[in-house]
Amino acid sequence: MLPRKSVTWVLLFLLISPTIFNLSTSQSDPRWAAKKRRLRDKVRNMFYHAYDNYMIHAFPHDELKPLSKSFTDSLSELGNLKLEHLPQDYNGSALTLIDSLSSLVIMGNNTEFESAVVWLSENLTFDVDARVNLFECNIRVLGGLVSAHLLATDSTDRLGQGVYKNQLLTLAEDLGKRFLPAFNTPTGLPYAWINLKYGVVENETTETSTSGCGSLILEMGALSRLTGDPKYESAALRSLRKLWSMRSSLNLLGTTLDVSTGEWIEYSSGIGAGVDSFYEYLYKAHILFGKDEFWRMFHSAYIAVQKYFRHGPWYHEADMRTGKATYWQLTSLQAFWPGLQVLVGDIAAANSSHREFFYVWNKYGVLPERYLLDHQMLHPTEKYYPLRPEFAESTFYLYQATKDPWYIEVGESILNSLNLYTKVEGGFASVRDVTTMQLEDHQHSFFLSETCKYLYLLFDDSFLVEQNYVFTTEGHPLPVLSSWHDRLPQSYIQTNWTSLKTEKEARRTSAMSKQVCPSTTLNSWECAGQQIESACHIPDAHVDHRCLTDSECGVDSTNCRRRSCSMAGYCGLWLFI
């Protein structure tokens, strides 16, 4: 017989770790594999219902209006003309087709991918009098073209012999050149809007967002690496560096700013609209290009977010100057954050926030645009759900990190809700009001480029086998290539180890090894007088580690697990003993 104390610990382990046993059995169960295939096929059917209706009713215009089975050219504003009075020679930018290219590849439809590439090569032009949003055009069009070019030229021979001769890269470079006049400002921060034919128009607004000028580096950096012309990456990098220099002493940034003066307009910010992809691109740029500069920016920004925005599993907004809370609200765009935390290694915090988003999803059937945390109610005017992908994205990342079958169940819930509430004869419609499920006549291109893609990858990740990708904020995959790195990562190359000397001993380390979370070896000694920490570390509220509630406990630096308050009033990893 086991000693009584051992039996107690075994029972405690069973209580706090119920999914560990389900995890191992479910992965090897043929019924589990069959279920994932069934869900994958449902996603594929959903994608093609949306895609086919776009091609029938809206192509080559930007996006589909599924209720009226018509189209909208949502990416551009052509002078002062209303969209129903477009010039006869303007046929749109085929936005949804471009945004869908990588999804077609991931779902294995090389035939449709080839047809799309051929059509774009022969018909798409950017020499049009169209005023476009720089940020949206960058992530959707430039990102879609660059990603598709990389997929067309990899080693899988997706296209027929002689079909592809870098036409998509030629289009991408033409578009990139048309972006550059937007950066001609005293600060180097780009205008939010640019006319593709004439550049920056007279009296153009100088107001832009943090995301708008801080989320260009992946696409424009990739374009420079592919063309050998550094001017695209240089423009995006100059903008990013200027933006980072405008941070407060707390390492926080605002939401909107003036590109001419470099002054902040809105000081309150969070991790949602207007700022979200800025954080995302700092870390992903570090992965894609290997620059330590991106890591240092991200690490400082991440710690500031955890310190000033986080409240338990939620993230409120705060004033960048003081760190004081301003708005206690959840926005649907914040749902990307757990996915980013997975890449950092902060799994416990990611899971905690993700479960709260799922609670709100279940409460309404979909995720409302804005939810007031302090009142536990919907925002009175922002009750819509425009088929956003962020919650599905984080679900995919968490399943990849944990292989916990619970995330498959979450994905199935998302899939069922989309088919139940948003599917119509002409495609998938946005939800105008989550309390009534009244629909709106709009199918955004990101529904095909991201929402369907992340759900598909959740149930079938065969596309990712033996290849590392960084997904842009629009869901376009960019391969992680050593040739794009300023230098190869050094933490795994023994000949490149350097020594870090302390008063007691010298131990081998490298710049990269100090950036891995969890940090299991570096947290107990110092470098240049500073404690080395993992990115996920959040100190306890009190230096003596005393506490009254779990909210006063931080995240452990050695394993990225959330600490809890014991009955004796001390923070520790009590649930993991």
Contact status, residue 472 vs residue 147, Cβ threshold 8 Å: yes
Q: Out of 276, 450, 533, 540, which one is annotated catalytic?
A: 276
Residue 114 is a catalytic residue? no
Task: Return the H-helix or E-strand segment holding 224.
Answer: helix 217-227
Residue 315 pairs in a beta bridge with: 310
Q: Out of 369, 450, 533, 540, which one is annotated catalytic?
A: 369
Residue 369 is a catalytic residue? yes
422 is in an annotated binding site: no
CA angle 127, 128, 133 (to 5 degrees): 105
Tokens describing residue 21: 């046993």
Residue 207 pairs in a beta bridge with: 258
Residue 72 pairs in a beta bridge with: 63
Residue 136 is a catalytic residue? yes
**Best CA proximity match to 349, nearest among 384, 318, 297, 310:** 310
- Show the beta-strand stretches assigned E in 321-452: 329-331, 370-372, 377-378, 423-424, 427-428, 430-433, 438-440
Tokens describing residue 331: 């926005």
Other CB atoms within 10 Å distance of the CB of residue 291: 17
- Give the Cα separation of 177 and 157 in Å (integer): 29
Q: Out of 390, 412, 533, 556, which one is annotated catalytic?
A: 390
Residue 154 is a catalytic residue? no
3-state secondary structure 91-144: CCCCHHHHHHHHHHHHCCCHHHHHHHHHHHHHHCCCCCCCEEEHHHHHHHHHHH
Q: Out of 62, 73, 136, 450, which one is annotated catalytic?
A: 136
Q: Which amino acid is at 185?
A: T
Detail the residues annotated as belonging to a binding site.
Answer: 473
Q: Kindly list the catalytic residues.
A: 136, 276, 369, 390
Detail the residues annotated as belonging to a binding site for Ca(2+).
Answer: 473
